[in-house]
């Protein structure tokens, strides 16, 4: 009798503990009420989605967003999308392809970032003399046409007249990522092919016409890194000697300035290619819940403000402009001379043609 | 309660992790939480104090297994690395990323530190060359080397990244086009490259051994001729200077360098605990204080811009030379180096075929020699085959030296000569006693004759025996014989291979007196040891 009582008491006590635990969890962070949404995203936005403030906004709207990073071009062609509620590549051509393949009704482009060239004061001066850099309205412009002329002639830095600042015996080339697997390299191809062709490349004839010149811009660099973080880190730490001109997303640079982590020195400057293209971060909803993420990103002012702190230009320019003003980031409010990238298939075909020449 | 358990479980896991697994595919054991199993370049060993601190700070400990850059790339490409490792950590990922099968297995890389490959020469030599305070380019260096105004040591480009980087650097710079190398550009500058490599008098399979041998020669502890300078990582040269009577002046070629950037790289196959460990460790190692400590401990440059470079880093803004963009360009360059550019080798193999070699042992020996004739089709095997222009002599012995057979590998059509070596190796038969030292002495007679008509070769001896000396002269006889040799012959390095019941002590003395190095084949195949020795020939 006593024994039975003991066991019963133990069971009761145990039940109490379990109840307390369950209740404790239930009243604490309410995980049960959140709907988990899974997305596959361009790796440039990983830090944004990992930010607790971003997670909190989603949680307030009943969502828990889990993301896997992948190359934007892989998202369009190689990733198994059935597992995800949304895809969020970093370029419009990739999104366009996904939208068509998956017959998505709509897409959201909540933020974007122009392709820019990160460089240093002595290089700016040198290239100004060489006619490649000129003063635009409120920002310095990198003349892609002039650059292509120098590159076509195989110009080395030490061949620029009067160059004592950077007399390196290597070709004057913008450092990019690997065209075989990176989105930013594809964006660079969008810019350079536009200039080489005198307009967006839309026909096979135009592709054939521009390929020799644009291929050289990649092949002459030799080894290139596969992700845009690599060359940008080299720019920050190894400096002018290694990477005098580096193609980056404007957001990468702005993000560092906003973070104020002392990585951006006063002699580091941004040049805006004329023309440039926007890396348009475009969300393609694959399921109902994914659509909700797209809506929130486009309309929630808090998310817009947070995106701007990561350096992205927001669909409502107010957020980005505020950050730029508050943190005194030296970037223009508006960029003129922005062109559209070629269609996804055209871009991919050109990239494949370049890859074959390695 | 549950939270308190965490560290306990972790501690138990760490203790368990101390015993190495017997599985050769997992030299550092199974995956476990809090441990990152890393396939790494041997030069990472100097980071151990920093990693010990990191383990205390983050709870993540690193277990290293060392290998060469190309052998490592091979292992990643074949998928072998995945079965025993979570991450790779070499001086550079460039070669790995050029091998498509390896590149696709690489996950997030985190660059931890950097060091350029430069030339170190004594200050007096630098003055003599008129280079004091001047901008010196690779072309100047190659011209002075061609006139033998200085000699230098460099690692084997197929075995070690510093030699590999130097080769790419000098070839890129001399080609002068400023863009990445291809076959046409390499052949256009091959006369200049030959000049540059003609002054190389010391080779090694690892940066560490190279600088040790250099020091021993500088102090006269090693019979080989003194070497003026070294091509090595800036970090190795700066560390070396701390112990040299006459420090080396670092020459940073003005046209550029190739820099190692040490990316700690997760393998895509790694599980979530390893991913987390990699992230934690990377974040820790890139913290400004730890970066400062890395710079002070290893003399490598920090990977984050927040840390100021110390005063010993004389040149700050280094121009980085372009690196080839395809595996075929790199492989072509390395092959050209071996078959056409480097000083050709003279390699003598003194091989034990006594009765104790019967069975698996003689078969292992046949395979080891055959492997060097091109039969080994791995990436590293491809580069370790006998090279164009190389003079190879096989001297088998038992109770007495047998007849020596000489082969010279033609640079343009090596196959028939390699096939002859293969035939001879396949026909090695065991039997008889073991006359180690009489045979070694006979080896010097062979080398003397060869060198009389063709003196300028990179000469070395491989000695493979599986047991005690049973016939002819003994070790003491050999020692006095060796002491009596003319300086040039006394300086020929001997590379004894420990095998079977080799007398370890005697073999070590043979290596020491000749400035060579012992290679152990008791716990691995003879083929692996023979392949490793290639880096020193």
Contact present, A246 and A177 (Cβ < 8 Å) = no
> Are A239 and A347 members of one domain?
yes
> Are A165 and A233 members of one domain?
yes
Q: Does the pLDDT at position B9 exceed 60?
A: no
Task: Please check whether residue A201 lies inside any domain of the structure.
Answer: yes
SS3 state at B38: strand
* Residue ranges of domains in chain B, CATH in brackets: 2-114+261-302 (3.40.190.10), 115-259+320-325 (3.40.190.10), 344-536 (3.40.50.410)
Model confidence pLDDT, tens digit, residues B384-409 = 999 999 999 999 999 999 999 999 99
Closest residue, chain A, to B137 (C-alpha):
A169
Mean local confidence (pLDDT), B524-537: 94
Model confidence pLDDT, tens digit, residues A324-348 = 999 999 899 999 899 999 999 999 9
> Are A226 and A131 members of one domain?
yes
Task: Please check whether residue A265 lies inside any domain of the structure.
Answer: yes
Stronger pLDDT, B437 or B317, i.e. the higher one: B437
Q: What is the per-residue pLDDT for A32?
A: 59
Contact present, B175 and B189 (Cβ < 8 Å) = yes
> Are A190 and A305 members of one domain?
no
Q: Do B320 and A169 touch (CB under 8 A)?
A: no
* Orientation of helix A344-355 relative to helix A92-102, angle to 10°: 120
* Orientation of helix B288-298 relative to helix B48-58, angle to 10°: 160
Mean local confidence (pLDDT), B454-481: 94
Q: Which is it for strands B35-40 and B61-66: parallel, antiparallel or unpaired? A: parallel
Q: What is the per-residue pLDDT for A172?
A: 94
Task: Please check whether residue A26 lies inside any domain of the structure.
Answer: no
| pLDDT band with cut points at 50, 70 and 90 for residue B178 | low
Closest residue, chain B, to A69 (C-alpha):
B108
> Are A220 and A345 members of one domain?
yes
Full residue range of the structural domain in which residue A57 is found: 31-111+281-326
> Are A177 and A49 members of one domain?
no
| Angle, CA of A342, A347 and A349, to the nearest 5° | 140
A263 touches chain B (CB under 8 A): yes
B253 touches chain A (CB under 8 A): no
Cis ω on the peptide bond leading into residue A275 (within 30° of 0)?
yes
CA A26, CA A12: separation in Å to the nearest integer?
Answer: 20
Q: What is the per-residue pLDDT for B21?
A: 42
Task: Please check whether residue A22 lies inside any domain of the structure.
Answer: no
CA A111, CA A312: separation in Å to the nearest integer?
Answer: 6
Q: Do B179 and A169 touch (CB under 8 A)?
A: no
Q: What is the per-residue pLDDT for B366?
A: 97
Domain total in chain A: 2
Q: What is the per-residue pLDDT for A288?
A: 94
Model confidence pLDDT, tens digit, residues B196-245 = 999 999 999 988 889 899 999 988 888 888 999 999 999 999 999 988 88
Q: Does the pLDDT at position B133 exceed 90?
A: no
Task: Please check whether residue A6 lies inside any domain of the structure.
Answer: no
> Are A128 and A215 members of one domain?
yes
> Are A94 and A120 members of one domain?
no
Question: Which range among B35-44, B181-190, B271-280, B331-340 shows the weakest confidence by mean pLDDT?
Answer: B181-190
CB atoms within 10 A of CB B39: 26
* CATH code for position A91: 3.40.190.10
* Of B137, B255, B323, Cβ closest to residue A223: B323
> Are A107 and A118 members of one domain?
no
Q: What is the per-residue pLDDT for B15?
A: 37
Helices (H) and strands (E) in chain A, counts: 15, 10
Stronger pLDDT, B307 or B182, i.e. the higher one: B307
Residues in chain A: 358
A199 touches chain B (CB under 8 A): no
Task: Please check whether residue A8 lies inside any domain of the structure.
Answer: no
* Main-chain phi, psi angles of B37, to 5 degrees: -90, 120
Q: Does the pLDDT at position B53 exceed 90?
A: yes
> Are A209 and A258 members of one domain?
yes
B92 touches chain A (CB under 8 A): no
Q: Does the pLDDT at position B16 exceed 80?
A: no
Q: Do A233 and B114 touch (CB under 8 A)?
A: no
A154 touches chain B (CB under 8 A): yes
* Of B94, B305, B325, Cβ closest to residue A236: B305
- Predicted complex ipTM: 0.81
- B15 by Cβ neighbours in 10 Å (0-12 / 13-18 / 19+) ranks as exposed
B306 touches chain A (CB under 8 A): yes
Q: What percent of chain B has pLDDT over 90?
A: 73
Angstrom distances, CA of residue B286 to CA of B85, B148, B265, B302:
22, 43, 14, 9
A230 touches chain B (CB under 8 A): yes
Both tokens of A269, joined, read 């400057």
Closest residue, chain A, to B329 (C-alpha):
A358
For an interface test with B, which of A44, A222, A230, A257 has the most B Cβ atoms less than 10 Å from its Cβ? A222
Q: Do B319 and A238 touch (CB under 8 A)?
A: no
B contacts of A71 (beta carbons < 8 Å): none
CA B65, CA B88: separation in Å to the nearest integer?
Answer: 10
> Are A306 and A228 members of one domain?
no
Task: Please check whether residue A20 lies inside any domain of the structure.
Answer: no
B319 touches chain A (CB under 8 A): yes
For an interface test with B, which of A121, A238, A246 has the most B Cβ atoms less than 10 Å from its Cβ? A238
Q: Do B178 and A219 touch (CB under 8 A)?
A: no
> Are A119 and A253 members of one domain?
yes
| pLDDT band with cut points at 50, 70 and 90 for residue B488 | very high
Query: Which residue's structure tokens are 């998956």?
Result: A102
| pLDDT band with cut points at 50, 70 and 90 for residue B517 | very high
CA torsion, ordered B159, B165, B169, B171, to nearest 10 deg:
20
Mean local confidence (pLDDT), B524-533: 94
Q: What is the per-residue pLDDT for B208?
A: 84
CA A162, CA A126: separation in Å to the nearest integer?
Answer: 8
Q: What is the per-residue pLDDT for B22?
A: 54
Residues of chain A whose pLDDT is less than 50? 1-28, 30
Task: Please check whether residue A5 lies inside any domain of the structure.
Answer: no
Q: What is the per-residue pLDDT for B272?
A: 84
CA B59, CA B17: separation in Å to the nearest integer?
Answer: 13
Closest residue, chain B, to A154 (C-alpha):
B177
């Amino acid at each position: 009798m006593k024994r039975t009582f003991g066991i019963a008491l133990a069971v009761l006590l145990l039940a109490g503990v379990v109840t307390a635990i369950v209740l404790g969890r239930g009243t604490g962070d309410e995980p049960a009420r959140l709907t988990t949404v899974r997305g596959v995203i361009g790796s440039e936005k990983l830090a944004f989605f990992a930010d607790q403030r971003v997670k909190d906004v989603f949680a307030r709207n009943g969502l828990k967003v889990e993301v896997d990073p992948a190359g934007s071009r892989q998202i369009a062609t190689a990733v198994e999308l059935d597992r995800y509620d949304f895809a969020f590549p970093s370029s419009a051509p990739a999104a366009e392809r996904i939208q068509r393949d998956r017959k998505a009704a709509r897409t959201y482009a909540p933020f974007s970032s122009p392709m820019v060239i990160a460089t240093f004061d002595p290089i700016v001066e040198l290239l100004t003399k060489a006619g490649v850099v000129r003063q635009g309205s409120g920002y310095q412009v990198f003349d892609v046409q002039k650059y292509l002329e120098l590159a076509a002639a195989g110009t080395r830095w030490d061949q620029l007249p009067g160059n004592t600042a950077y007399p390196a015996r290597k070709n004057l080339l913008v450092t990019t990522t690997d065209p075989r697997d990176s989105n930013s390299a594809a964006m660079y191809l969008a810019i350079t092919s536009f200039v080489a062709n005198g307009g967006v490349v839309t026909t096979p004839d135009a592709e054939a016409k521009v390929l020799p010149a644009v291929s050289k811009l990649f092949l002459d660099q030799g080894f290139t890194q596969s992700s845009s973080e690599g060359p940008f880190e080299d720019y920050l730490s190894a400096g002018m000697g290694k990477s005098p001109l580096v193609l980056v997303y404007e957001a990468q640079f702005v993000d560092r300035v906003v973070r104020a982590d002392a990585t951006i020195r006063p002699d580091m400057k941004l040049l805006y290619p004329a023309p440039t293209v926007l890396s348009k971060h475009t969300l393609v909803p694959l399921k109902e819940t994914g659509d909700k993420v797209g809506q929130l990103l486009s309309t929630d002012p808090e998310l817009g403000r947070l995106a701007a702190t990561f350096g992205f230009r927001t669909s409502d320019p107010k957020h980005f402009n505020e950050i730029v003003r508050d943190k005194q980031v030296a970037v223009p409010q508006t960029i003129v001379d922005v062109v559209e990238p070629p269609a996804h298939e055209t871009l991919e075909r050109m990239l494949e043609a370049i890859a074959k020449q390695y | 309660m549950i939270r308190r358990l965490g560290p306990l479980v972790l501690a138990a896991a760490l203790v368990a992790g101390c015993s190495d697994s017997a599985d050769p595919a997992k030299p550092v054991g199974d995956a476990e939480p809090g441990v990152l199993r890393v396939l790494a370049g041997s030069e990472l060993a100097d980071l151990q104090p920093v990693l010990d601190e990191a383990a205390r700070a983050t709870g993540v400990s690193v277990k290293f297994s060392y290998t060469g850059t190309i052998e490592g790339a091979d292992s990643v490409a074949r998928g072998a690395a995945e079965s025993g490792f979570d991450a790779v950590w070499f001086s550079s990922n460039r070669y790995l990323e050029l091998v498509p099968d390896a590149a696709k297995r690489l996950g997030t890389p985190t660059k931890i530190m950097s060091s350029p490959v430069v030339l170190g020469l004594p200050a007096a030599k630098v003055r003599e060359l008129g280079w004091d305070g001047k901008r010196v380019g690779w072309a100047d260096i190659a011209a002075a080397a061609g006139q033998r105004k200085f000699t230098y040591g460099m690692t084997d480009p197929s075995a070690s990244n510093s030699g590999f980087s130097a080769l790419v650097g000098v070839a890129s710079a001399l080609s002068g086009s400023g863009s990445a190398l291809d076959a046409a550009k390499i052949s256009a500058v091959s006369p200049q490259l030959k000049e540059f490599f003609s002054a190389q008098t010391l080779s090694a399979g690892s940066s560490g051994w190279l600088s040790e041998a250099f020091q021993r020669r500088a102090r006269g502890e090693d019979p080989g001729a003194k070497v003026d300078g070294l091509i090595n990582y800036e970090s190795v040269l700066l560390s070396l200077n701390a112990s040299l009577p006459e420090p080396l002046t670092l020459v940073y070629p003005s046209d550029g360098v190739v820099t190692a950037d040490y990316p700690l790289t997760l393998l895509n196959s790694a599980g979530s605990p390893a991913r987390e460990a990699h992230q934690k460790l990377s974040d820790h190692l890139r913290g400004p204080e730890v970066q400062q400590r890395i710079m002070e401990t290893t003399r490598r440059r920090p990977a984050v811009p927040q840390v100021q470079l110390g005063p010993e880093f004389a040149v700050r803004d280094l121009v980085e030379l372009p690196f080839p963009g395809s595996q075929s360009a790199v492989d072509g360059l390395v092959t050209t180096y071996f078959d056409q550019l480097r000083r050709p080798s003279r390699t003598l193999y003194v091989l034990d075929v006594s009765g104790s070699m019967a069975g698996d042992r003689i078969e292992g020996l046949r395979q080891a020699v055959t492997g060097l004739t091109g039969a080994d089709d791995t990436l590293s095997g491809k580069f370790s085959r006998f090279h164009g222009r190389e003079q190879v002599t096989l001297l088998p012995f038992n109770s007495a030296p047998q007849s020596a057979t000489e082969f010279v590998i033609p640079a343009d059509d090596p196959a028939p000569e390699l096939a002859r070596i293969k035939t001879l190796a396949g026909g090695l038969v065991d039997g008889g006693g073991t006359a180690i030292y009489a045979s070694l002495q006979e080896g010097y007679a062979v080398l003397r004759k060869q060198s009389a008509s063709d003196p300028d070769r990179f000469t070395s001896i491989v000695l493979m025996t599986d047991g005690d000396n049973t016939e002819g002269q003994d070790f003491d006889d050999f020692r006095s014989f060796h002491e009596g040799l003319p300086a040039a012959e006394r300086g020929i390095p001997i590379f004894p291979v420990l095998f079977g019941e080799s007398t370890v002590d005697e073999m070590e003395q043979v290596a020491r007196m000749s400035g060579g190095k012992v290679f152990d084949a008791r716990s691995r195949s003879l083929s692996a040891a023979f392949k490793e020795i290639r880096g020193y020939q």
